[in-house]
Chain A
Amino acid sequence: MSVRGQVQKRSLLRRRLGRITGHGDYPFNLIIAAAALLVVAIVIAIGYQLWSNSTLSRVAFGLKFLWTTTWDPVAQQFGALPFIMGTLQTSLLAVVLAVPISLGIAIFLAELAPEWLRMPLGFLVELLAAVPSVVYGLWGLYVFIPALVRPISVFLARYLGSIPLFAGPAYGPSRLAASLVLTIMIIPTISAVSRDVFLAVPRSQREASLALGATQWETIWQVLIPYGLSGILGAVILGLGRALGETMAVTMVIGNNLDLSLSALHPGYTMASVIVNEFTEATYPLYLSALIEIGLALFALTLLLNLFARLLVWNVARRVPQEARV
């Protein structure tokens, strides 16, 4: 066959191949769809693996796993309540402390700060989220606790010790220490999301309020915050989700102690920290299964919270017309 014939044949083949494959679009679409599907499949696989690998423990203890307090690997008795309580107590306290500060930051960055300050300040607050968890733990353990947490704890135990939440004696590593470190760690999440919520409030809302004679603070408190309330709530829940799953920093400052009292000044234990502490030491299948079930509970909890938060934030984003955004 002549060279020309070969070339013709090849180009014919190419054209036919192009027609069959949509000029390469069909296989390409297949590949990107497969990648998208894989991401979805990973989430499902995580849920499935946690569920199936915790079967032993789920069968042995049933739902009472969640509200019994005995955690005794030697007697093969497992109940996760101390960890669940520890996680909820530290995270909720952290959220209570972080919300006013984060809202203050969001208001300052969205409404008050001069233009040239907004960017660098927002930048610094966001860098708080970039510090590795284990560095927070190291700093918390050797700097923050001796310098600040212990004096505060001693003070609280002395003057408010009659309240169960602040019952003494005051330790160094404690639930309070974990809460305070968590507070610092979730401030960037809550403040960044609620700043975006404030920025999404239409300018006309502010102008209307100011025109009626409200001060700037009254405008923020009575107009902007109610307007963006569901978005702010979403931001708070995202922060809570981060706090619930935080592992290393909490493990390093909470003291890892099965203490059943309510006192924030006592050392405690959380779901994430018991997993990281005991996982590689779990010597028999039921023990490992119980730890994985704690992971399953943590997964379910953060999944629900995230769902709820996304719904709230989406709601706000949808309500605000595009052109109203500043």
Chain B
Amino acid sequence: MTVVVRAQSRQRYLVRRITNTVMLGLTGLATVVAIIPLLWIVLYVLIQGGRFLSFDFFTKLPTPVGVPGGGVVNAIVGSAILVTLACIFSIPIGILAAIYASAHPNTRLGLSLRFATDVLSGIPSIVVGIFAYTVVVLPMHQFSALAGGVALSIIMLPTVTRTTEEMLKLVPNSLREASLSLGAPEWKTSLRVMLPAALEGVVTGIMLGIARVAGEAAPLMLTSFGNSFMNTDITHPIAALPQTIYIYAVAPYKDWHDKAWTTALVLMTLVLGLNITARLIIVWRRRKLGLG
């Protein structure tokens, strides 16, 4: 009898051990499975896009179908203008709102602000595009870079606000108290002591925000519309890199597909570069503050 029980329990123990090993192994496998697409995409964009990369690609306007050469300078300039507009609108508001959030976290407005930031970061970008269409394109009776900039700034706003707020929270309270005890008013303490102390963090937040909006195409289709010529007038339609990728990709021409890959290489370099730099700064900063 005891022998049977012991044999059974040994068998069950073995089953539990095996389950343990298999399941723990599967979690590692899941991590590998998730990273494969990233490497696949990055390598493919590098190889496919790299074939047609040239100096002209950054300096020339697009050529018609079948005509070799040409570049996407209009989209590069367009993206730069759109991202600049987004920064002009979202950075001051985002930083000021973050100062409010860190100074008054539990007032009614502070709680509403936190909730609004959460909601904003969850709203689909295409819906933000519709909003910008109704408030900028409809009154102006024209698609414009300005409308695109408004849409992108709303998408960027929660990233800037939340990162700034979190970085302000990381600044030691003693710094703030020291400034106040020296007789500096609140505003001077916020702008001249707290913000500079959190500056690296704020800059990384802005970089992450830029990386996010630089890759957005959906809201631009309804707002800045796209333009196959060079344009620097913000009241007119303008081209952008992600939108150019879309247009080239869904067109039925082989040479446009090649250009889509090269444009994707340019965009990916920009976006991933910003992202990696920002994340490295965050890691480095946390380490410096001893937060591991």
Which of A4-12, A69-77, A244-252 forms contacts with chain B?
Answer: A244-252
- Say how far A280's CB is from chain B's closest CB, in angstroms: 7
Task: List residues of chain A with CB within 8 A of the CB of B133.
Answer: 279
Q: Is A209 an interface residue (CB 8 A)?
A: no
A113-B28, A298-B126 are known contacts; what are 12 more A-B pairs with Cβ within 8 Å?
A27-B187, A35-B97, A36-B100, A36-B101, A39-B93, A42-B120, A46-B127, A108-B28, A138-B249, A217-B19, A220-B23, A272-B218
Q: Is A160 an interface residue (CB 8 A)?
A: no
| Interface CB pairs A-B, < 8 A, 16 | A28-B187, A37-B109, A39-B157, A40-B112, A49-B131, A101-B30, A101-B34, A124-B35, A135-B268, A137-B246, A138-B245, A184-B37, A215-B19, A218-B20, A275-B222, A291-B130
Q: Residues 293-326 of chain A: 1 if any B CB is under 8 Å from the residue's CB, otherwise 0?
A: 0010011001101110010000000000000000
Q: Is B38 an interface residue (CB 8 A)?
A: yes
Q: Is B170 an interface residue (CB 8 A)?
A: no
B residues 118-173 touching A (CB-CB < 8 Å): 118-120, 122-131, 133-135, 154, 157, 161
Question: Are A39's CB and B113's CB within 8 A?
Answer: yes
Most buried by A among B34, B45, B271, B272: B34
Closest A-chain residue to B131, C-beta based? A46
A residues 98-126 touching B (CB-CB < 8 Å): 100-105, 107-109, 112-113, 119, 121, 123-126
Q: State in angstroms the CA–CA spacing of A140 and B261 once bound together.
A: 12
Q: Residues 10-53 of chain B: 1 if any A CB is under 8 Å from the residue's CB, otherwise 0?
A: 00000011011001101111110111011011001100000000
Closest B-chain residue to A302, C-beta based? B122
- Say how far B122's CB is from chain A's closest CB, in angstroms: 4
**What is the predominant secondary structure among interface residues of chain B facing chain A?**
helix
Closest A-chain residue to B186, C-beta based? A25
Task: List residues of chain B with CB within 8 A of the CB of A248.
Answer: 217-218, 242, 246
Task: List residues of chain B with CB within 8 A of the CB of A46.
Answer: 123, 127-128, 131, 154
Which of B58-66, B68-76, B275-283 forms contacts with chain A?
Answer: B275-283
Question: Are B123's CB and A245's CB within 8 A?
Answer: yes
A residues 207-238 touching B (CB-CB < 8 Å): 215-218, 220-221, 238
Task: List residues of chain B with CB within 8 A of the CB of A135.
Answer: 41, 45, 215, 245, 264, 267-268
Question: Are B28's CB and A35's CB within 8 A?
Answer: no
Q: Is A53 an interface residue (CB 8 A)?
A: yes
Question: Are B264's CB and A216's CB within 8 A?
Answer: no
In the complex, which of the residues A127, A241, A247 contacts B126, with contact meaning CB atoms closer than 8 Å?
Answer: A247
Q: Residues 15-43 of chain A: 1 if any B CB is under 8 Å from the residue's CB, otherwise 0?
A: 00000001111011101111111111011
Q: State in angstroms the CA–CA spacing of A263 and B13 once bound together.
A: 44
Task: List residues of chain B with CB within 8 A of the CB of A272.
Answer: 124, 126, 218
Q: Is A132 an interface residue (CB 8 A)?
A: yes
Closest A-chain residue to B30, C-beta based? A104
Q: State in angstroms the CA–CA spacing of A28 and B187 once bound together.
A: 6
Question: Are B190's CB and A133's CB within 8 A?
Answer: no
**What is the predominant secondary structure among interface residues of chain A facing chain B?**
helix
Q: Is A63 an interface residue (CB 8 A)?
A: no
Q: Residues 261-294 of chain A: 1 if any B CB is under 8 Å from the residue's CB, otherwise 0?
A: 0000000000010011001100000000001100
Question: Are B246's CB and A252's CB within 8 A?
Answer: yes
Q: State in angstroms the CA–CA spacing of A210 and B256 once bound together.
A: 59
Q: Is B225 an interface residue (CB 8 A)?
A: yes
Question: Are B185's CB and A25's CB within 8 A?
Answer: yes
Q: State in angstroms the CA–CA spacing of A107 and B26 once bound together.
A: 10
Q: Is B82 an interface residue (CB 8 A)?
A: no
Task: List residues of chain A with CB within 8 A of the CB of B118.
Answer: 306, 310
Task: List residues of chain A with CB within 8 A of the CB of B267.
Answer: 132, 135
Most buried by A among B35, B37, B161, B250: B37
Question: Are A130's CB and B271's CB within 8 A?
Answer: yes
Known: A32-B100, A36-B97, A133-B217. A104 touches B27 (CB 8 A): yes
Most buried by A among B113, B124, B185, B243: B124
Question: Are B109's CB and A132's CB within 8 A?
Answer: no
- Say how far B107's CB is from chain A's closest CB, in angstroms: 9
- Say how far A326's CB is from chain B's closest CB, in angstroms: 10
